Homo-oligomer: A and B are copies of this chain.
Amino acid sequence: MSAAPGDVEKGAAAADTGAAAKDGAPAGEGVVGAVVRRWRRQDLLDKSGSALRAAAWALSLLAFVVMGANDHGDWKQFDNYEEYRYVVAIGVLAFIYTTLQLVRHGVRLTGGQDLQGKVPLLVDFAGDQVTAYLLMSAVSAAIPITNRMREGSDNVFTDSSAASISMAFLAFVCLALSALVSGFKLAKQTYI
């Protein structure tokens, strides 16, 4: 974990307090403990955010590849249906977004500039939340037509569509959780 400068200062201040208040050792430990707990929580937030985005990356890749390969001639082509084209478009968009986010955060881990400012966190949160809404929208649009097709006949085309929709839904779940994490970090930042 790369500690932000603010964190280091806080840690030093807490250590000073602990040293100065010799008679209040438990209180001093309490402050240090709180700071350590805060670091751990920050670390957990960073890790879970990255893990969720990595999962969303893989799932959105699967979603649009499976749907894009869903071409079995005649009426069984995904690009005859606007709902399925929408799933592909949003899948590609989610894939590009999560790729850029992973690169951006990867660069930070290997020593780039710090991304704990207000604006980078706002970008994280807004991106996650908007992409989550778009994925939910694409999934919901594609489900009714797939249902109707499956009432008629169950074949490789409808099965692939259902698989792609499931992947997109799981990508939505990951990004919705990631939006929670980054929203929490953003709100915390604005109050420190």
Q: Which residues of A contact B (CB under 8 A)?
A: 82-83, 133, 136-141, 143-145, 147, 176, 180, 183-184, 186-188, 190-191
Say which residue of B139, B140, B145, B147 sits within 8 Å of A138 (CB atoms): B140
In the assembly, what is the distance between CA of A95 and CA of B191, in Å? 33
Q: Which label, helix, strand, loop or mixed, suits the secondary structure of the A interface? A: helix
- Shortest Cβ distance from residue A189 to the other chain B in the assembled complex, whole angstroms: 10
For A137, what are the chain B residues with a Cβ–Cβ distance below 8 Å? 136-137, 139-140
Do the beta carbons of A82 and B147 come within 8 Å of each other? yes
Given contacts A136-B133, A137-B136, A176-B133, contact A144 B188 (CB under 8 A): no
For A176, what are the chain B residues with a Cβ–Cβ distance below 8 Å? 133
In the assembly, what is the distance between CA of A188 and CA of B136, in Å? 27
Say which residue of B83, B133, B140, B191 sits within 8 Å of A188 (CB atoms): B191
- Shortest Cβ distance from residue A79 to the other chain B in the assembled complex, whole angstroms: 14
19 CB-based A-B contacts, threshold 8 Å: A82-B147, A83-B144, A133-B133, A133-B176, A136-B136, A136-B137, A136-B140, A137-B137, A137-B139, A138-B140, A139-B140, A140-B141, A180-B183, A183-B184, A183-B187, A184-B187, A184-B190, A186-B187, A188-B191
